[in-house]
A and B are shown apart, each in its own frame.
Chain A
C-alpha cells in the first residue's frame, strides 16, 4: 500500500479549536484500525488508500455531528463501511463500462450484502466475546466499550495493571481471530 499523507494531520494548524484538536488526535489514533477494516472491506488494494483518505475526510467534515459522549470508533466505522460500499459500487460500474468480464454486482458491490456481512461480523465478535471467561470479558468491555484506561480497570476490579494487560492481550488474540479469516482480500 502506498504511503499517504493524511488529510487530518496530527500537526495542529493555528485555526483549530481545542475540541477540533482533540478530535483530530482521536482520528489519528484510529488510523490503523480503519486501515484494517478497509483492507477487508475494499477488495482492490489500490483503492484502499483512497478509501482511507475519503473516510477521514468525511469524518472531519462531519465532526460537528459527532456526539463526543459516545465512542468514536463505531461512528468512524460506519463512515468507513459506507465509503467502502461506494468504492465497490464505483469499481463495479467502471468495470462494466469497460466491458471487462466481471461477476455480477450483487456478488460484492451490493450494500445490503455488505451490511449483512457487517452484522455477521458483529455477531461473531459478540459470540467470541461471550466465550471468554467472565473476568477477561469484563476487562474487554470496560476497555473497548466504556473507554476506560488500563489503570482505571485495575483499580475498579482490584487487579494489577500487568494482569489487566495480560487479559487484554489474550482477549485481543482471541477476538482478532474472528476478524482474521476475511483479511487479505483480493490481490
Chain B
C-alpha cells in the first residue's frame, strides 16, 4: 500500500478503522521512514499509558498474582520479626539474669547474718507434719523487699475443722519451726 493520508491515520489512531485496514496502516507506518517521522509519535502514545494516567507495568511483575509478588515482603517481615524477637529475648534474658543476681547478691545476703541458711537455699519452702492434733502445714515465702522477715501461711486441720492463717515472722523464728513438731 502507499502512504496513508492523515484522515486514514486518524481513523486508525482512533481505533475506528476496520481491522484489516488498521493492520495494513500499522505495518506500513512501521516500515516507512517518512510515515514514521510524520505519524510515529502519535502511534507511540499507545505505549505511554503510565504517563497518560494508567499503571505502568513491568513484564515480570504482571506475570504473577499478588500473593506471589508479596512473597518476598512476607519473608522479609518474618526475618525482621525473628531479629527483633532475638534481640528482645536476649535483652530480656540479660535483664532477668541481672535481677536474679541482685536477689542473690552476696552483699544483700550478708545484711542478714542471722539467716544465711534460708537466704541460700530457698525463696519458698513448705513444711508439714501429722500429729495428735491433726495435720499441720506451713508454707513460707521470702519477701524480696522485706528480707528480714518471711511471710508464711499456716494451715491446720484437725477434728474441729480447717484453719488457715497468713503471718509474718522473723527469719530465725521460721527457721526454728521444725522444733515445734511433736
Query: Which chain B positions have C-beta within 8 A of A183?
Result: 37, 40-41
Query: Which chain A positions have C-beta within 8 A of B50?
Result: 74, 122
CB 8 Å contact bits of A157-177 with B (1 = contact, 0 = none): 000000001001100110111
CB 8 Å contact bits of B42-84 with A (1 = contact, 0 = none): 1111111111111111111011000000000000000000000
User: In chain B, what residue has the closest Cβ to A184?
Assistant: B37
Tell me if A66 and B16 are in contact (CB < 8 A).
Answer: no
Main secondary structure, interface of A, reads helix
- A70-B57 contact in complex given A29-B22, A65-B62, A144-B49, C-beta closer than 8 Å: yes
User: In chain A, what residue has the closest Cβ to B15?
Assistant: A149
Tell me if A73 and B30 are in contact (CB < 8 A).
Answer: no
- A78-B57 contact in complex given A29-B22, A125-B52, C-beta closer than 8 Å: yes
Tell me if A67 and B47 are in contact (CB < 8 A).
Answer: no
User: In chain A, what residue has the closest Cβ to B58?
Assistant: A78
- A74-B40 contact in complex given A32-B25, A66-B63, A141-B53, C-beta closer than 8 Å: no
Query: Which chain B positions have C-beta within 8 A of A70?
Result: 55, 57, 62
A-B contact pairs, 15 of them (CB 8 A): A28-B23, A32-B25, A32-B29, A35-B40, A36-B44, A67-B57, A70-B62, A122-B48, A123-B51, A126-B51, A144-B48, A144-B54, A176-B41, A177-B41, A184-B37
Tell me if A62 and B26 are in contact (CB < 8 A).
Answer: no
Tell me if A35 and B30 are in contact (CB < 8 A).
Answer: yes
Query: Which chain B positions have C-beta within 8 A of A62?
Result: 59
Tell me if A125 and B51 are in contact (CB < 8 A).
Answer: yes
